[in-house]
Amino acid sequence: MGAGGASRPTILVTDAARGSSLSIIRSLGRRGWRVIAGDSDGGSVGFRSRYVAERLVYPSPAKAPTEFVQSVLEAAARWRIDLIIPVTDAAILPLSEERARLAGVCRVAMPDPETLQVVSDKRMTLELAAKLGVPAPRSVLVDSAEAARHAAMGLGWPVVLKPKSSRIYQNRRSIESFEVAYAGNPEEVAARLGHFDGRCDILVQEYCVGVGRGVGLLMHKGRPLAAFQHRRLHEVPLTGGASSLRESEALDPVLYDYSLRLLSALQWTGLALVEFKVGPGGPTLMEINGRVWGSLPLAVMSGVDFPRLLAELYLFGPPDDAIGPQLRYRVGVRARNLALDMLWIGAALSGQRRYSFLAAPGRGQGLAGLFGLLDPRCRLDIQALDDPGPGLAEIPLIIGNLWQKVWNRN
């Protein structure tokens, strides 16, 4: 091990401002391990955690990926880091590209390049699902507005316009991000595709109605070590995105089976979240999130300490084959990302709809969400009694963000 010796490894966690990163920092710090928090923002709320031994301010991995990798390499040598846990795609992509430079320096908790490519490319994910009998939305890959309109006519309205890859690493210069869009008629298809034109291929996909559910897993070469399932209650944006409020629920045997089929076929090692929409016709695969997911704090609060299990896997190896996966945890636990949920409440109360043809929560649900903030049974991603620094630092950021939303609306 590194500077702390075999019993006290040194671990770098990137993107320290995120609730998922903070959950990792706290889990490992509570074990007495030496945790280094990294972020491109010197004011990151994660830097305020009592469990952080050192702080690394690195260049933005999205804007300066080469410089980011160099900063991480220098930090690994300076602090004798044993393990790096990259949290976002922006951190994973350049580190994956430069993994040869990291070999022999320290371990990195990220998937192999080949498997990472499959889950990063939505077309490849859909092909894998079809091969394994996992239901997925009907989709057509297109490269022009005319082809997209033709495909949409066959799928029925509305349609989802998904970038083939949410993030593209541009020749080690930058990482470009793309968001999902929706269209309710041929004219809107043309308007929405303008953002993607010439920058990435698009999947025109049927719109699936249902409740979002995610199965989070820790795997070792396709073998499950732990699993957890949650249900999305609030999402930002309202049309679908990051969950701002979610609840733990018992593993659905069908969703768990589908998730294992996919990740076992990939011989996956590490964390992954397999996301589904469950509607009247049953479950439909949405995507495989091949990294630390945003609602990770809920899993830890429910009793599945994925951060510890992940770190132990990469530092000490997998448990004995005779030990089965951890599948038991508390159900009915709720957790919210306070900053995101305030945006959800504001959007629901405003009554404004970006897409009039999609279902969205009304003002009544917004009021219920507002009063729900007073529910002491609901846990918070950032705020913690034994580690109050990040939560206190987040409050002015939430106020500023809400003020900016109100100002922009006026």
Q: What is the mean pLDDT of residues 140-148?
A: 88
Specify the 3-state DSSP secondary structure of 21. Answer: helix
Global pTM?
A: 0.94
Tokens 């900063």: give the residue.
Answer: 71
- For the chain, the domain total comes to 3
Q: Which one of 164, 189, 206 terminates a domain?
A: 206
Range of the domain at 23: 10-110
Residue 75 in any domain: the answer is yes
Domain identity same for 269 and 346: yes
Cβ neighbours around 286 below 10 Å, total: 23
Query: What is the Cα–Cα distance from 312 to 277, expressed in whole angstroms?
Result: 32
Residue 390 in any domain: the answer is yes
Per-residue confidence band for 198, with pLDDT thresholds at 50, 70 and 90 = low
Residue 311 in any domain: the answer is yes
Q: Are 219 and 270 within 8 A, CB to CB? A: yes
Domain identity same for 302 and 359: yes
Q: Are 120 and 348 within 8 A, CB to CB? A: no
Q: Are 329 and 304 within 8 A, CB to CB? A: yes
Residues 219-254: pLDDT tens digits? 999 999 999 999 999 999 888 889 999 999 999 999
Query: What is the Cα–Cα distance from 177 to 89, expressed in whole angstroms?
Result: 10
Q: Are 1 and 8 within 8 A, CB to CB? A: yes
Amino acid at residue number 234: H
Per-residue confidence band for 190, with pLDDT thresholds at 50, 70 and 90 = confident
Question: Any idea what the CATH number is for the domain that residue 236 is in?
Answer: 3.30.470.20
Domain identity same for 200 and 71: no
Domain identity same for 185 and 315: no
The torsion region of residue 215 among left (phi > 0), alpha (psi -120 to 50) and beta comes to beta
Residues 47-92: pLDDT tens digits? 999 999 999 999 999 999 999 999 999 999 999 999 999 999 999 9
Domain identity same for 260 and 372: yes
Residue 132 in any domain: the answer is no
Query: What is the Cα–Cα distance from 326 to 152, expressed in whole angstroms?
Result: 43
Domain identity same for 66 and 193: no
Residue 264 in any domain: the answer is yes
Question: Any idea what the CATH number is for the domain that residue 53 is in?
Answer: 3.40.50.720
Mean pLDDT of the chain: 92
Question: Any idea what the CATH number is for the domain that residue 149 is in?
Answer: 3.30.1490.20
Is the pLDDT assigned to residue 409 strictly greater than 80?
A: no
Query: What is the Cα–Cα distance from 322 to 331, expressed in whole angstroms?
Result: 26
